[in-house]
Amino acid sequence: MSFVSLAAASAGAAHHVSFPILSALIILPIVGAVLVALTSNRRPEYVKLIATLFSVGVAGMSIWLLASFKTHDGGFQFQSQHEWISSWGIGWHVGVDGISLFLVVLTGILFPLVIVGCDPHHDEKRYLAWLLLLEAGVMGSFLSLDLFLFFLFFEIVLVPMYFLIGGWGYDQRIYAATKFFLYTMVGSAFMLVGIVTTALLAKKDLGHISFDLVEIAEGANFAASTGRWLFFAFAIAFAVKVPLFPLHTWLPDAHTQAPTGGSVILAGVLLKLGTYGLLRFGVYLFPEAALWSREIFLTLAVIGIIWGAIAATMQKDLKRLVAYSSVAHLGFIVLGTFAFTSEAVGGGVMQMINHGVSTGALFLMVGMIYERRHTRLISELKGLQKVAPIFAAAFMVVMLSSIGVPGLNGFVGEFLILIGTFNTARWWVVVAATGVILAALYLLWAYQRVFHGEPDEANSSFQELRLREGLVLLPFIVLIIFCGVYPKPMLDRIEPSVKLILERVEEKTGYLAPAPVLLEEEHGQDEES
């Protein structure tokens, strides 16, 4: 069965519930943000309550979405499609598949944890309003199946993040926020040109102007050179967002200066807009161009892995070290995306989630360290394990998941990426594998310096993990262990959608991905011989 027929079948079979749950996932945080902003300053106790209730409501709906999702259906489910600006072919078209499903769920879970677990220390009302608006933008970006709608939400995300860094960050917050804003805006300008040009050129094949992602992908045929130019217009925006080497320089500054909640959200879901965009829009819309440029992206991904690891090793600030580790980890995701095998791409999608959980938890715990010691300098932290053993144990679990130790979530994604990429890009994998070793080096060395040894006078009063902090960390640790021990439920929902995208690449380009080696087949051949 062809990709088009499969996509059409899945669209017909998709859940069409009377309640538009995907639209609600976007609209509910916006309503929450408005209500928070309108809450009287005389009743500050209501602000956090309203924000928590709305974010928990979104989390509940995202978990229901996960439970109701058809496991073996690779197409878009729960679609809502309505005309918006009909003269321009712009519509409200949202849907979810195996690639976006867990990103939506992760977004739903992270925001209430950040709202409950991270204190802004001042102007809570504005902080929470921006946070809820940010949640709406992120949800909209992962669910949009209309190019204009996606661009709208992609840009909405930029505004609250700018104000969160600039308003509640640390000493150099204005510089970091401005740098983040400018980098992203430049990338977005390229994407806007790409979106408009794509819609106008697709009009020739479609017979009418449309910004609908699925309609353009299935109905438009771009010339090879045209597709490549359009692909790079999208890819530049997503490469900045990932961020891919050499466009990564805004990330360490943004992470270091952002408040703890901002860093958790930035690492958890915002960076995934780049990796998700490359797969959803780059590879899906322009398979020929994506295949043609794969060596460029594989090379940049590997450079990012090694560069991020080396830079992390040299950091004196613990938060900046974790920020550079993100550059390395996201390099693995891009590596998997452009390997064009089901194992590597599926591993890349899974690693988006794994990185969001592990690195989000790391930033949360670094924020807890700063709350206690008012410093993030590794040289000033020592012997914390002795005075706060439970805190140290939790940090150790999260750190080992980031390294990719077997039995924890990080291992599964990285293993699938490396084994899937080995068939199509062997030498890139050989170099990338050294990044795994380097990750163990800089993270274990950082742990040794911060937690081992005898605490000095300043560190001897370091407080143990509090109950509220423990309850906020618990979902992270549960996900780290569960996804590491039993990744099958996640992979069962991701793989059908990944296979559809790879089938589309094969149909449009003639490319044949190497088949995975099945032990059963080998065993059968041995018996025959």
Residue 515 pLDDT: 65
> CA–CA separation, 118 vs 116, rounded Å?
6
Residue 61 pLDDT: 92
Question: In degrees rounded to 5, what are phi and psi of residue 78?
Answer: 55, 35
**Hey, where are the domains in the chain?**
299-524
| SS3 category, 522 | helix
Residue 14 pLDDT: 43
Residue 1 pLDDT: 38
Walking along the chain (529 residues) 10 residues at a time, the average pLDDT comes out as: 39 53 91 88 81 92 90 84 82 89 92 87 86 92 91 91 87 87 88 90 83 84 85 89 84 86 88 90 88 89 89 88 88 89 89 91 90 85 86 91 88 88 83 85 88 82 85 92 90 89 82 58 44
**Whether the bond into 243 is cis, omega within 30 of 0:** yes
Neighbouring-strand partners of residue 145: none
pTM: 0.87
Quick one: DSSP state of residue 207? Answer: S
Answer for the pair 312, 442: CB distance below 8 angstroms, yes or no.
Answer: yes
Question: In degrees rounded to 5, what are phi and psi of residue 146?
Answer: -120, 130
Question: In degrees rounded to 5, what are phi and psi of residue 407?
Answer: 100, -15
Quote the crossing angle between the two packed helices 124-143 and 21-38, to the nearest 10°: 160
> CA–CA separation, 243 vs 240, rounded Å?
5
Residue 85 pLDDT: 80
Query: How many CA atoms lie less than 13 Å away from 21 in the CB half-sphere?
Result: 24
> CA–CA separation, 117 vs 473, rounded Å?
9
* Count of all residues that appear for the chain in the document: 529
